[in-house]
């Protein structure tokens, strides 16, 4: 298969590694030209997962997006949601015809609060029959180490999900597939809000007992939200939803958790952002989901807590007291 992978970070590199385990021909689009030169010369990504060997006969890096997309059967997206519009802008829609798109992006398009797959359908005119998403708990760093991982492919077209699941499966990645595209995408976005809340409450002195209650309440909150916004039968405790929440909420390396922790210790949002030199994904996710929920009014104590602190300058201690009383 001809596979194009869009993005140069850890997750993109991990997907390149996984997909090159089978005999796919991989065109890899990266924005960073220095990284491309380095990969061509040394067969390693200089900045991300740099231990991974990138087989030159299977993997070709590209800077030109048109070249990267030419003749590809599958296009895998792995850039931050905020950058995706820019990657594809000014391209004729005809270039996307007859290609299958898989979003590996866990985030909403900030300008429109759309899921990435909604944007693919609405803006690039991709048919729902050609859209899937990758879900499941997966630190890219563990893919570099070939640690056993599990990924779930979701699509409204189950045959497409099954097809990509079998393309993605390899020695250290087991795959499965489900028909719940919106559900897994929203859950993936919301887990970052939970990681923020986990960081904030940790910064405020909460311990492991509280964390366990927070995460139990969080999966119920996620279930309430996705059941309302995308009603269908789903098992929220599958690894695509609960597993993904766990790997993030219990990660010591989560940027969202670190960011939240700084807020809990009294840093202002601005100061925490400057200190971290980046914006944690949960920051914009909190605003997007809060705005979407204005139309749905789902009971969401963890979202309310995080939104208040990030966007309403709410008192940390009062917010924490309120959250404690709303959890069970």
**Residue whose CB is less far from a second copy, 121 or 256:** 256
In the complex, the smallest distance separating the C-beta of residue 247 from a second copy, rounded to whole angstroms, is: 4
For a second copy, the closer of residues 34 and 237 by Cβ is 237
Q: Which residue, 73 or 142, is less far from a second copy as judged by CB?
A: 142
Going by their DSSP bridges, the two strands 131-135 and 149-154 should be labelled as: antiparallel
Closest contact distance (angstroms) between CB of 274 and a second copy is 29
Nearest to residue 221, comparing CAs of 186, 266, 262, 273?
Answer: 186
Least distance between a second copy and beta carbon 157 (Å): 21
Structure tokens belonging to residue 300: 């969401």
Beta bridge partner(s), residue 5: 28, 76
Angle between helices 269-276 and 255-264 (to 10 degrees): 140
Is residue 138 within 8 Å of 239, Cβ to Cβ? Answer: no
CB of 326 to a second copy, least distance (A): 10
The tokens describing 117, both together, are: 């797959």
Compute the least distance from the CB of residue 173 to a second copy, in Å. 9
State the number of CA atoms in the 13 A half-sphere of 167 facing the CB: 24
Beta bridge partners of 153: 134, 177
**Please, which residue, 181 or 215, has the CB nearer to a second copy?**
215
What is the dihedral angle through the alpha carbons of 236, 238, 239, 240, rounded to the nearest 10 degrees?
-60
State the minimum distance, in angstroms, from the CB of residue 136 to a second copy: 8
Q: Where do contacts with a second copy occur on this chain (CB under 8 A)?
A: 136-139, 142, 145, 147-150, 174, 176, 205-213, 215-217, 219-220, 223, 235-239, 242-244, 246-247, 250-251, 324-325, 327-328
Name the residue nearer to a second copy (CB basis): 145 or 274: 145
Question: In 3D, which of 109, 12, 21, 128 has the Cα closest to residue 68?
Answer: 12
Of 178 and 181, which CB lies nearer to a second copy in the complex structure? 178
Radius of gyration of the chain (CA): 20
């Amino acid at each position: 298969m001809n596979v194009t992978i869009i993005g140069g970070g850890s997750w993109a590199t991990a997907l390149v590694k996984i997909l090159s385990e089978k005999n796919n021909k991989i065109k890899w689009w990266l924005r960073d030209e220095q990284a491309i030169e380095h990969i061509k010369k040394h067969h390693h990504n200089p900045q991300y997962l740099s231990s991974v060997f990138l087989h030159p006969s299977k993997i070709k890096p590209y800077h030109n997006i048109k070249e990267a997309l030419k003749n590809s059967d599958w296009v895998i997206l792995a850039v931050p949601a905020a950058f995706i519009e820019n990657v594809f802008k000014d391209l004729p829609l005809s270039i996307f015809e007859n290609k299958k798109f898989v979003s590996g992006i866990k985030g909403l398009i900030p300008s429109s609060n759309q899921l990435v797959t909604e944007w693919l359908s609405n803006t690039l005119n991709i048919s729902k029959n050609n859209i899937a998403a990758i879900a499941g708990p997966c630190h890219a760093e563990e893919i570099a180490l070939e640690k056993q991982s599990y990924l779930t492919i979701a699509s409204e077209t189950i045959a497409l999900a099954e097809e990509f699941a079998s393309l993605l499966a390899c020695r250290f990645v087991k795959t499965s597939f489900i028909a719940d595209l919106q559900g897994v995408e929203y859950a993936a976005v919301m887990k970052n809000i939970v990681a923020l809340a986990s960081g904030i409450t940790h910064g405020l002195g909460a311990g492991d007992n509280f964390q366990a209650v927070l995460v139990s309440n969080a999966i119920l909150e996620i279930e309430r939200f996705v059941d309302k916004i995308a009603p269908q039968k789903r098992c929220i405790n599958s690894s695509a939803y609960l597993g993904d929440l766990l790997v993030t909420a219990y990660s010591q390396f989560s940027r969202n958790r670190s960011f939240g922790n700084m807020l809990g210790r009294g840093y202002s949002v601005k100061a925490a952002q400057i200190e971290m030199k980046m914006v944690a994904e949960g920051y914009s996710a909190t605003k997007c989901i809060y705005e979407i929920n204005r139309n749905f009014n789902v009971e969401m104590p963890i979202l309310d807590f995080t939104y208040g602190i990030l966007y309403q300058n709410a008192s940390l201690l009062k917010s924490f007291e309120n959250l404690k009383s709303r959890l069970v």
